[in-house]
Structure 1
Amino acid sequence: MRILTLAAAIGLAVSGAALAQPMTTEDLAALDTDGDGKVSQAEFDVFLDAAFVKLDANGDGIVTVQESSAVMTPEQFAAADANGDNGLSRSEFKIAGQKDFVAADSDGDGSLN
C-alpha cells in the first residue's frame, strides 16, 4: 500500500498523488518526534493515526475509496481493504502501514532513518 509515502502526500503531521515518491529525509525528520534521528514504530503509529483522521473526511471511522483517492490508487486501497467491504477501518489502515514500516526497515532495527 505504501503508507510510508502518505507522509509526504498528506503533508506530514497531517497536511496524492505523491504515493509514487519515496519519503525524504525531511519527511522522516518530521515524524521523528523525539529527535533521535530515527522514526520508531511508535512514532510511525502516531503518524498513522493522524493520517487516518485526515483521510476520513466525514469522520465516520471508515476511509472510502473516494476519501483516499488523492493519496492511494484503487489497487493500493484494495490491498489494504482486508475484508473487501470497500472501506478501510482504522485497523486495516494501521496494519497496512505497519507492513510498510517493516518492509522499509531494511536493517531490521525497528526504526527508519
Structure 2
Amino acid sequence: MMAELVTELDEVVVNVKQFNADLANGEYIEGKLIAEKLSEFKHWYYISELDMFGPSKYIGYKTMICKDYSVYNDGRETEKVLKKWFMILAEDDSLYTSLWVKLNDLHYEHGKNLRKNAEIHILK
C-alpha cells in the first residue's frame, strides 16, 4: 500500500527532523543503514530554521519513519507535493555553494558521496 503524501508544511518539517534523527541513530531502511542510501537520493530539501536537509522520498510522506520507508515510494509524487512550498536552488544563487558544501559534508560524514546530479530545494 502506498503511503499517504504530506498535505501541510508542518508535516514536512517533522519528517526532516525525523530523517536526521534516524540518520544520527543508525536506523535501517529495508535491511540497510539509512546512511548507506544517502547517495541514492537526488532531491534534497533544506529548511533553514532547522539547518537540516531531507530527501524527497522520505519527507514527502505523512509520519515517515525508517521502518515505514519503502523502495516503492515514488519520489516523483513527493516532488509534485513539495513544490507547493519549495523551489529548486539555482546554481548561481548566493546560497548554493554553502548549502552544497553542507550537504556534501553530510554525505562525507557517513562515508558516502553526494550525487553529481543532486538538486537542492529551499523554501519559497
Question: Which TM-score applies when normalising by structure 2?
Answer: 0.29
Q: More strand per residue: 1 or 2?
A: 2
Q: More helix per residue: 1 or 2?
A: 1
